[in-house]
Amino acid sequence: MGEDNVWQGRVAFVTGAVTGIGLGVAQAFADSGMKLALSYRNEDDRAAAAEWFASKGYEQPLFVKLDVTDRARFAEAADQVEQHFGAVHVLVNNAGVSVFGPTDEASYDDYDWIMGVNFGGVVNGLVSFLPKIKAAEGRRHVVNVASMAAFLPGPQAGIYTASKFAVRGLTESLRYNLAPHGIGCSLCCPALTRTNAWKSATKRPDAFAESGFRQAREGELEQFGTAFEEGMDPYEVGAKILAGMTKQNGLILTHPEHGPDFTELHEKIMAALPDEEAPPGRLKIEELRRQAMRDAEAGLVIELNQLT
């Protein structure tokens, strides 16, 4: 762990934490000496995760059964974690669904399900846990796990991309609000990871059964899932999240292969800017905004009257 480990004994709550990236985060956190509360939905997955902790000789996490769209249950979970450990220091909003289809054919149920889990689940985590984290002391942090889709859209991923763009915007703004409280805040955007996220489409709740997407042909999802076998090990993603938290990075990118995408994106944005002079009044307002962002990140509370 090393003498510079700032997370020893800190209490973390991680959603969707018994498989995939969530489990990788939980394992990396456990290796750093953190105390864990982990949300889950499937009992077999919970049991498998418990076996990993037992095999390492670690204290068993507090396992909390939770549907992240259930606000009442999320509030109960926050109270349960605080009562069990006495404080909560870290929140990782990780749970999500990876569901794809052409956006022009999407139904309301498609929007409500995907946005409800991927964005609404983050909202529910923040509303439920931020009061607990603010009340705690010492090193504290919030991580919202989005996706590289928060930057890079795709033709089959419209609603998924919208949900991840939303998490990105929320997190980048939240960072400024948490800084005055001494709470770190990171947006993590992983790319291809060795998980079973591709199975999300088979777990659609009955309440959102009316999909506009055509049903996958036999073997189609399984073929799509073979791409995930090439993905990064979830533990490596978890370790990179932990390292980013330690360095107080606002943005945690785990995969190195997207340089060409960001170069192209930057060039497109710069090329779209009008080649003309802006008037002094607008330039002044924008500089006030930039200064407010710098001040907020430094820990100052920014009021509306500072923006004009």
Q: Collapsing DSSP states into helix, strand and coil, what is residue 66? A: coil
Quote the longest CA-to-CA distance of the chain. 65
Write down the catalytic residue from 58, 108, 111, 160.
160
Alpha-carbon gap, residue 191 to 46, rounded angstroms = 25
Q: What percentage of the chain's residues is helix, strand, coil (to nearest 5)? A: 55, 10, 30
Beta carbons within 8 Å of 262's beta carbon, 6+ residues apart: 151
160 belongs to the catalytic site: yes
218: left (phi over 0), alpha (psi -120 to 50) or beta: beta
Task: Name which of 220, 24, 203, 29 is nearest 117 in CA terms.
Answer: 203
Active site residues: 160
